[in-house]
Amino acid sequence: MLWTLSSNERLVYMNKNLRSAVIAGNWKMNKTPDEATALINEIKPLVADAGCKVIVGVPFIDIPAALEATKGSNIAVSAQNCYWKESGAFTGEVSAKMLKTMGVEYCILGHSERRTYFGDTDATVNQRTLGAIEAGLTAIVCVGETLSQREQGITNELVAMQTKIALGGVSAEQLSQIIIAYEPVWAIGTGKTATAEQANEVCAVIRATLAEIYGREAADGVTIQYGGSMNAGNAEELLAQPDVDGGLIGGASLKAPDFAKIVEAASK
């Protein structure tokens, strides 16, 4: 198959000349603004010399505190969702433009928790992605299979399809505003991590899918992260894979020393 790599192609560090390594914390629904400030202040000195991009993905209400706490540092701020219309009668939503106006640079989109609990679909993830890049944000688009989908043997097709639909209407020039996060649903918050080989195989499928649409050179420039129980102990092996360009970190991003260890692993 197009995306199957032979075993001797695997243990090669990602090519940082082609794309940048990105470690992003997804704090999910955790931390008040004061707690966010405290956690960022703890993280800041630990990652000051990072050789990769460092992002904290915080709840909407923490954004002003996070922007203030990260000012002048090498840490960027991400939201965890956005709506594609600029403004209007959309109770409870926050637009990409509002986030951009505040100084937010990134937005996590299509996380499996949003797909599972809040009705996000491939189609709405596509709309949110287009809205985010139109507003000038970089979208961190999440894709990934459930355990039953993996057991059915449809992981590669499913993830390729999620990627294609999410990026519908995204031009080659706009690809610089896209990061893809491969997050197997069965590995999120479960302590069950995909093996480095599994993570790399699916990240390579995503890259092959991007190459199909945009060409190999453009696909080689896109950062593809792995997420799902990545922690201080397993990050180095996962990040050593040639197609794993970073991590989207849940639980471990709430502990400054653990998050810093992952950043350190990505900086090698």
What minimum distance in Å lies between the beta carbon of 139 and ligand 13P? Answer: 14
Active-site annotation holder among 113, 145, 183, 201: 183
Residue tagged 């944000």 (tokens): 137
Q: Which residue is nearest to ligand 13P (CB)?
A: 250
Cβ nearer to ligand 13P, comparing 206 with 214:
206
In terms of phi and psi (left: phi > 0; alpha: psi -120 to 50; beta: otherwise), the region of 43 is: alpha
Q: Report which residue type is found at 27.
A: W
Comparing CB distances to ligand 13P, the nearer of 228 and 246 is 228
CB of 181 to ligand 13P, least distance (A): 7
Q: How far apart are CA 52 and CA 218, in angstroms?
A: 20
Q: Which is nearer to ligand 13P, 131 or 227 (CB)?
A: 227
CB of residue 227 vs ligand 13P: minimum separation in angstroms? 4
For binding to ligand 13P (CB under 6 A), which residues are involved? 26, 111, 183, 188-189, 227-230, 248-252
Least distance in angstroms from the C-beta of 249 to ligand 13P: 5
- Looking at the Cβ atoms of 142 and 222, the one nearer to ligand 13P is 142
Distance CA 184, CA 31 (A): 25
Closest-CA residue to 75 (of 101, 43, 107, 103): 43
Residues in the chain: 268
Considering the complex, state which of residue 84 and residue 226 has its C-beta at the smaller distance from ligand 13P.
Answer: 226
CA angle 44, 50, 56 (to 5 degrees): 50
Residue 111 is among the residues annotated as catalytic for this protein? yes
Nearest to 108 by CA among 134, 136, 129, 130: 129
User: In whole angstroms, how close is the CB of 2 to ligand 13P at the nearest point?
Assistant: 27
Q: Which is nearer to ligand 13P, 19 or 111 (CB)?
A: 111
Active-site residues, by number, are 111, 183
